Chain A
Amino acid sequence: MTGAARPLAAFPVFAQLPEAELELISGTARTVRFAARQRLFSEGQPARGCWLIEDGRVALDMAVPGRGQVVLQTLGPGDVLGWSWLVPPYRWHYGATSVLPTTATELDTEQLRALAEQDPRFGYTLVLTLFEAVLQRLQATRARLLDLYGSPDDQR
């Protein structure tokens, strides 16, 4: 299901973008809805699409032999899902499934890449914006690596 996109400036990741860049990105946007338990993409597939989650929840997962699909992280309202389209080899590193009914703004990443290639200034702004989101995700992941809530017995 699709529809008109929500204003991009309403998403924290794009809140500081200049009007001109917002307009360009908005031209690639549409609203999509996923039912609960719907597979969005799988590891290894060509990476197309970037989603700004409006509501709902999406789980990033990976198949681990003997453990099935292991959920690594969930994303919620305001989060960006999908940036493998930006970097070679343009394939998903993880899979994604909606845990709850989810509404998102989907960006056409073929168009976005073409715009970035035509206008490196736009491309730089776009990459810097997404990099900030990536950095926050990385910091949260590192914090989890610290295993801060483990007991002394767990650390041995």
Chain B
Amino acid sequence: MTSADTVTVAAEPMLPVPYRVTSRTAETRDSVTLHLEPAGQPLPPFQPGQFAMLAVPAIGEVAISVSGGPEYQDGALVHTIRAVGKVSRALCDAPVGTVLGARGPFGTTWDLPSAAGRDVVVVAGGVGLAPLRPVMLGVLAGRGGYRRVLLVAGARTPAEFLFHRELDAWSARADTEVELTVDRPAAGWDGPVGFVTEPLARLPLDPERTTAFVCGPEPMMRFSAQVLLRKGIPAEDIRLSLERNMQCGIGLCGHCQLGPILVCRDGPVVGYTLAEPLLTIREL
């Protein structure tokens, strides 16, 4: 998924460079957004969909997709991280001023330019909204270049949506259709209750002019892709962001192998044509 995006590769992709945390925003009970500025030489610009390897000294390194918009082209990085393990927890806890290591940019992009002039459907589940935020920001920054823009996002509870203020702002736009749904409602929530596939199934879509961007837990992506296929959207117009155990980031170590592909190099963003047969094999 890199046909139209310009992808730049770091000169020394295995060498982490220092980045300083310049702001930390708690998104939910277990997710934060970090803004990072280079504390030395900046990394090349990241494209929507790509990821960095972020390192916490003496703890470890983990792959995190960029969640910033098109304005972050000067070496600054924005990442939204969920605390699920030792490294991600340390990243989430990092106070402003902490110096982290960063490598990248790695992997394929959402290839947003190829969706120009088409309807854009963004389907996010849980923290899957983070890698899709650059898609929304990019599309809205060049809104005139796209037809309909639709976001369908699901969360466990209303409090667990990322980017609350932006979701409110996008919902308020007349040129953007936003459907938020929760698995479990809370007091005061009178929005939709149901899995993300339910509002997705209700949307009237033009299958010949729609490009779909999907990110979330793997079963959620499979179910969502099946709904999109039922609506007649070709598999090649459905893109997913995969997650595996990325370590080197450049297709050398093999930890992220998924059948014939290395997700760090051939992904994380792949077309559903490629992903479908791989996601149904239990051993992979």
Contact with A along B215-233 (1 / 0, CB 8 A): 0110110010000000000
User: In the assembled complex, which residues on chain A have CB atoms less than 8 Å from the CB atom of B211?
Assistant: none
Chain B nearest CB, measured from A45 CB (Å) = 22
Query: Taking the complex as formed, is A140 at the interface, i.e. its CB lies under 8 A from any CB of chain B?
Result: yes
| Interchain CB contact under 8 A, B192 and A79 | no
Task: Report how many residues on chain B are interfacial, defined by Cβ distance under 8 Å.
Answer: 31
Contact with B along A107-125 (1 / 0, CB 8 A): 0000000000000000000
| Interchain CB contact under 8 A, A149 and B195 | no
| Interchain CB contact under 8 A, A149 and B154 | yes
| Interchain CB contact under 8 A, A147 and B194 | no
Query: Taking the complex as formed, is B183 at the interface, i.e. its CB lies under 8 A from any CB of chain A?
Result: yes
User: In the assembled complex, which residues on chain A have CB atoms less than 8 Å from the CB atom of B223?
Assistant: 139-140, 143
Known: A143-B223, A144-B183. A149 touches B194 (CB 8 A): no
What is the chain B residue whose CB lies nearest that of A140?
A: B195
Contact with B along A56-79 (1 / 0, CB 8 A): 010100000000000111101111
User: In the assembled complex, which residues on chain B have CB atoms less than 8 Å from the CB atom of A149?
Assistant: 125-127, 154-156, 160, 183, 216-217
Query: Taking the complex as formed, is B282 at the interface, i.e. its CB lies under 8 A from any CB of chain A?
Result: no
Known: A143-B219, A143-B223. A148 touches B126 (CB 8 A): yes
What is the chain A residue whose CB lies nearest that of B31?
A: A151
Query: Taking the complex as formed, is B84 at the interface, i.e. its CB lies under 8 A from any CB of chain A?
Result: yes
What is the chain A residue whose CB lies nearest that of B127?
A: A149
Chain B nearest CB, measured from A82 CB (Å) = 17
Q: Is the interface of B mostly helix, strand, loop or mixed?
A: mixed
Known: A139-B223, A148-B216. A77 touches B202 (CB 8 A): yes
Known: A73-B193, A148-B216. A153 touches B156 (CB 8 A): no
Within 8 A of A (CB), among B102-155: 125-127, 154-155
User: In the assembled complex, which residues on chain A have CB atoms less than 8 Å from the CB atom of B195?
Assistant: 140-141, 143-144
Q: How far is the CA of A78 from the CA of B202 in the complex (A)?
A: 6
Output the residue of B191, B198, B217, B220 with the most chain A CB within 10 A: B198
Known: A151-B82, A151-B84. A76 touches B192 (CB 8 A): yes
Contact with B along A124-156 (1 / 0, CB 8 A): 000000000000100111011011111111100
| Interchain CB contact under 8 A, B194 and A140 | yes
Chain B nearest CB, measured from A37 CB (Å) = 10
Chain B nearest CB, measured from A85 CB (Å) = 22
Q: Which of B82, B192, B219 contacts A146, CB < 8 Å?
A: B219
Q: How far is the CA of A148 from the CA of B126 in the complex (A)?
A: 8
Known: A78-B202, A147-B156. A152 touches B84 (CB 8 A): yes
Q: How far is the CA of A59 from the CA of B191 in the complex (A)?
A: 10
Q: A71-B185, A77-B202 are in contact. List 15 more A-B contacts (CB 8 A).
A: A73-B194, A74-B194, A76-B199, A99-B190, A136-B201, A140-B197, A143-B195, A143-B223, A144-B195, A148-B220, A149-B154, A149-B156, A151-B30, A152-B84, A154-B156
The 7 closest A-B CB pairs, nearest first, are A149-B126, A148-B217, A149-B156, A140-B195, A143-B195, A74-B193, A74-B192
Binding site for B on A (CB under 8 A): 12, 57, 59, 71-74, 76-79, 99, 136, 139-141, 143-144, 146-154
